[in-house]
Amino acid sequence: MFVSKDHSSIYFPPNGFNHIKVLQGQPQKGNTTHERDDNIIAPNEKGYINVPLSISNEKDKLLDGLLVSGFDEASCISRLQSHLYRKASPHKPSRYLISKLRNYEELHRRCGPNTIAYNKSMTNIENSKNNNVDGCKYIVWSPTNGLGNRIISMAATFLYAILTDRVLLVRFGKDISGLFCEPFLNSTWMLPNNSPFWKQEHIETYDSFLEKGRSKTNKTKEDLPSALFLYHQYTKEDTEKFFHCDYTQDLLRDIPLLILQTDQYFVPSLSMITSFNFEINKMFPQKDTVFYHLGHYLFHPSNQAWGLISRFYQTYLAKADERIGLQIRVFDPQITSQQEIMDLILSCTIENKILPKLETQNSVSYSENHTLKAVLVASLYPDYGESLRAMYLNKASVNGELIGVFQPSHEQQQKFHDNMHDMKAWTEMYLLSLSDVLVTSSFSTFGYVAQGLGGLKPWLLVRPHMRKPNSTSCEQDLSSEPCFHFGPKHECNGKPQNHFASSFPHFLECKDINRGLKLVSDSALL
Any domain includes 413: yes
Predicted pLDDT at 333: 75
Residue where a domain terminates, one of 242, 266, 298: 298
Instruction: Label the pairing between strands 437-441 and 459-461.
Output: parallel
Predicted pLDDT at 363: 59
Predicted pLDDT at 23: 28
**Pair (145, 271) in one structural domain:** yes
Q: Where are the alpha helices (DSSP H) in 112-252?
A: 116-127, 147-164, 206-211, 246-252
Q: Specify the number of domains making up the chain.
A: 2
Residue where a domain terminates, one of 237, 264, 298: 298
CA-nearest of 121, 128, 148 to 140 is 121
Any domain includes 193: yes
Any domain includes 58: no
**Pair (456, 363) in one structural domain:** yes
**Pair (164, 246) in one structural domain:** yes
Any domain includes 498: yes
pLDDT for 107-151, tens place per residue?
A: 999 999 999 999 999 999 998 876 667 789 999 999 989 999 999
Predicted pLDDT at 48: 35
Predicted pLDDT at 463: 83
For residue 322, which phi and psi values (nearest 5 degrees)? -145, 140
Any domain includes 495: yes
**Pair (220, 343) in one structural domain:** no
**Pair (314, 281) in one structural domain:** no
Handedness of CA 205, 207, 213, 215 (dihedral sign): positive
Predicted pLDDT at 409: 82
Distance (Å, whole) CA 210 – CA 105: 33
**Pair (456, 511) in one structural domain:** yes
Residue where a domain terminates, one of 298, 328, 343: 298
**Pair (241, 319) in one structural domain:** no
Long-range contacts of range 503-508, CB-CB < 8 Å, 24 or more positions apart?
Answer: 504/268, 504/271, 504/272, 506/271, 506/287, 507/268, 507/271, 508/478
Any domain includes 44: no
Predicted pLDDT at 28: 33
Q: For the whole model, what pTM was predicted?
A: 0.88
For the chain, list residues with pLDDT below 50. Answer: 1-15, 18-55, 214-215, 217
Any domain includes 166: yes
**Pair (218, 309) in one structural domain:** no
**Pair (320, 284) in one structural domain:** no
Q: For the domain that residue 394 is a member of, what is the CATH number?
A: 3.40.50.11350
CB 474 within 8 A of CB 350: no
Count CB neighbours of 372 within 10 A.
Answer: 17
Predicted pLDDT at 487: 86
Domain that residue 485 falls in: 303-525
Any domain includes 4: no
CA-nearest of 407, 397, 406 to 355 is 397
CB 395 within 8 A of CB 363: no
CB 176 within 8 A of CB 304: no
**Pair (357, 457) in one structural domain:** yes
Predicted pLDDT at 479: 96
Half-sphere exposure of 490 (CA within 13 A, CB side): 11
**Pair (114, 139) in one structural domain:** yes
* Residue 130 identity: N
**Pair (426, 341) in one structural domain:** yes
Predicted pLDDT at 413: 61
Half-sphere exposure of 433 (CA within 13 A, CB side): 30
